[in-house]
Amino acid sequence: MRMIPMKIWGTPLAILAAGCLLSLSACSAYSDAPTASASGSTDATKLQVAVAFYPFEFVVDRVGGDQVAVENLTAPGAEPHDLELTPQQVASLSTVDLVVYQSGFQPAVDTAVQQAHPKQTIDTASFLTMMKASQDGADTGSSTSAEDPHTWLDPTNLVTIAEHVRDALTQARPADAQAFADNTARLVDDLNGLDTTLKSELTTCAITPFITSHAAFGYFAKRYGLTQVGINGVEPDVEPSAARIAEVQKIAEANHVTTIFFETLVSPVVSESIANDLGLKTDVLDPLEGITADSRGTNYLEVMASNGTALHKANQCS
């Protein structure tokens, strides 16, 4: 993955000063940052796009190509559900050419977009069909988040997002319309190829349920005809109750589940303990909420392919 150092796109000095007062570390980050980007020819000539979390970074990178510099508001290795933004990140949104986010998922980003009035925004929740949070996931008692935010785990949703990104970038820079269209066509080919592979891998499986760390795979399960059982609900960092763990164990035994899945960005302790109790295997099923050195692949396509391989094996698919 291309790492782009955090930039301060024409942030007003007054706001920078406020950021320094609030956070010394943010302040020193500024003084370390060279005035021109370390990577050389970036910035001035490129469209500046801020994205809320990894899968949107992947799409904008592919659609925008060399014409675009992307800033991911969620740091690599951070878990996007409980994202907090620095004052300078909030300020940066008022100068970028485009912000790609999903309202209802990260309250800090929703607030920042309202405050910063970006030139253009893409709110994926405004055009994707949102599912209700899975009943199979644990009921964490928070009745406020009734929608499942994990739209990106259905590759066909990424196709739709890519088309919106193409249109927004074209509006920002019509001269590069052809490049954006060509890049999008290639990305759509790749996403459709992934979708075809996953379908063929997961259509005929001896075991239908799969047990995940948090209930991130509702859109994925619906697309590929499987059933997700989240140890946690749609929020990852909740301690599951003893009753929920017992329930998951019962489902695992009744369905002859072979594997308890865990994630790269969330502690595997609960998954491992359930697997140990039942004598089952553990494996990674990655909800792609970020990419790190531990990810099984360097980008969305590769990690999704790894997910398909892991499920194919665990659920005994033919």
Reference 307, options 287, 282, 291, 290; nearest CA is: 287
Least gap, CB of 171 to Zn ion (angstroms) = 31
Radius of gyration (C-alpha) of the chain in whole angstroms: 20
- Residue 70: how many other CB atoms lie within 10 Å: 22
Q: Which is nearer to Zn ion, 83 or 113 (CB)?
A: 83
Site size toward Zn ion, by CB under 5 A: 1
Name the residue with tokens 């553990």. Answer: 282
Reference 79, options 214, 276, 221, 260; nearest CA is: 214
Q: Which is nearer to Zn ion, 194 or 216 (CB)?
A: 216
Determine if 216 is a binding residue for Zn ion (CB under 5 A).
Answer: yes
Q: Which is nearer to Zn ion, 85 or 216 (CB)?
A: 216
Determine if 215 is a binding residue for Zn ion (CB under 5 A).
Answer: no
Least gap, CB of 169 to Zn ion (angstroms) = 27
Least gap, CB of 41 to Zn ion (angstroms) = 36
Least gap, CB of 236 to Zn ion (angstroms) = 5
Q: Which is nearer to Zn ion, 180 or 261 (CB)?
A: 261
**CB-based closest residue to Zn ion:** 216
Neighbour-count burial of 247, counting CB atoms closer than 10 A to its CB (0-12 exposed, 13-18 middle, 19+ buried): middle
d(CA 129, CA 30): 40
Q: Which is nearer to Zn ion, 59 or 216 (CB)?
A: 216
d(CA 253, CA 274): 11
Determine if 138 is a binding residue for Zn ion (CB under 5 A).
Answer: no
Q: Which residues bind Zn ion (CB under 5 A)?
A: 216
